[in-house]
């Protein structure tokens, strides 16, 4: 059983992991869906934001007009990845009650808005308390680059957050179900 520690359906999920599974035909390999988007990720992102200084209590209406979050992701050439990141942003926005806008550390045609550009656009709208939420599983260059652009607070990557661990187990359980796993052949068929 393979559970990709990836947050969206990009090239690794569509091609690389299925190809690696296909290279071992003697193993009955099943591949779980990527971790995101999922409400558990929104919960973990919210928790990381609170750790960084986001208000723990729901914001009042006047504060909601000033606050926003940039969901900083790596970026991908695959439009499905951008769609998944957009859905993750929506889940977090529903949880926080403020706009959450996806932006990318490595922009591509499918993921065009950079973190600094998105922060500037939110500032132009009067969002004076904008946080950056790291939509990364681990620290690294993209997380550091995104955090350095934050005008207020920057949440750390998801890392070993307990909710992320529960989501990995959830994806594993889903994939163990008779119709839950994506075989290498199913990945190839959906990659078209």
Q: Which domains does the chain have, with CATH numbers?
A: 11-190 (3.40.50.1400)
pLDDT score, position 192: 32
C-alpha span between 94 and 163 (Å, rounded): 18
pLDDT, mean of residues 46-67: 97
pLDDT(187) > 90 = no
30 vs 107: CA distance, rounded Å = 31
61 or 1: which leads in pLDDT: 61
Q: Whole-number mean pLDDT of the chain?
A: 90
Q: Measured on CA atoms in the order 140, 9, 188, 4, is the torsion positive or negative?
A: positive
Query: How far is the C-alpha of 11 from the C-alpha of 7, rounded, in Å?
Result: 12
**Nearest-5° Cα angle at 51, 47 to 53:** 115
**Lowest-confidence range among 15-19, 123-127, 169-173, 177-181?**
177-181
Given a cut of 50, is residue 84 above it in pLDDT?
Answer: yes
Predicted confidence band of residue 75 (pLDDT cuts 50, 70, 90): confident
- Using one digit for the tens of pLDDT, what is the confidence trace for 144-166? 999 999 999 999 999 999 999 99
Q: What is the pLDDT of residue 189?
A: 36
**20 vs 46, residue with greater confidence:** 46
Q: Write down the pTM of the prediction.
A: 0.89
How do residues 104-133 score in pLDDT, each as one tens digit?
A: 998 777 678 999 999 999 999 999 999 999
Percentage of residues in the chain having pLDDT higher than 70: 93
């Amino acid at each position: 059983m393979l559970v990709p520690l990836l947050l969206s359906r990009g090239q690794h999920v569509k091609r690389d992991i299925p190809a690696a599974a296909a290279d071992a035909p003697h193993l009955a390999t099943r591949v779980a869906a990527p971790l995101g988007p999922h409400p558990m990720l929104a919960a973990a992102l919210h928790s990381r934001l609170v750790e960084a200084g986001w208000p723990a209590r729901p914001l009042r209406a006047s504060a909601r007009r000033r606050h926003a979050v940039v969901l900083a992701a790596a970026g991908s050439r695959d439009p499905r990845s951008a769609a998944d990141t957009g859905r993750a942003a929506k889940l977090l926005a529903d949880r926080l009650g403020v706009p959450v806008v996806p932006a990318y550390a490595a922009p591509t045609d499918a993921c065009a808005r950079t973190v600094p550009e998105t922060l500037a656009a939110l500032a132009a709208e009067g969002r004076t308390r904008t946080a950056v939420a790291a939509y990364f599983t681990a620290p690294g260059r993209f997380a550091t680059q995104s955090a350095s652009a934050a005008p207020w607070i920057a949440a750390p990557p998801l890392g070993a957050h307990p909710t992320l661990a529960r989501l990995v187990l959830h994806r594993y359980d889903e994939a163990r179900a008779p119709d839950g796993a994506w075989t290498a052949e199913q990945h190839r068929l959906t990659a078209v």
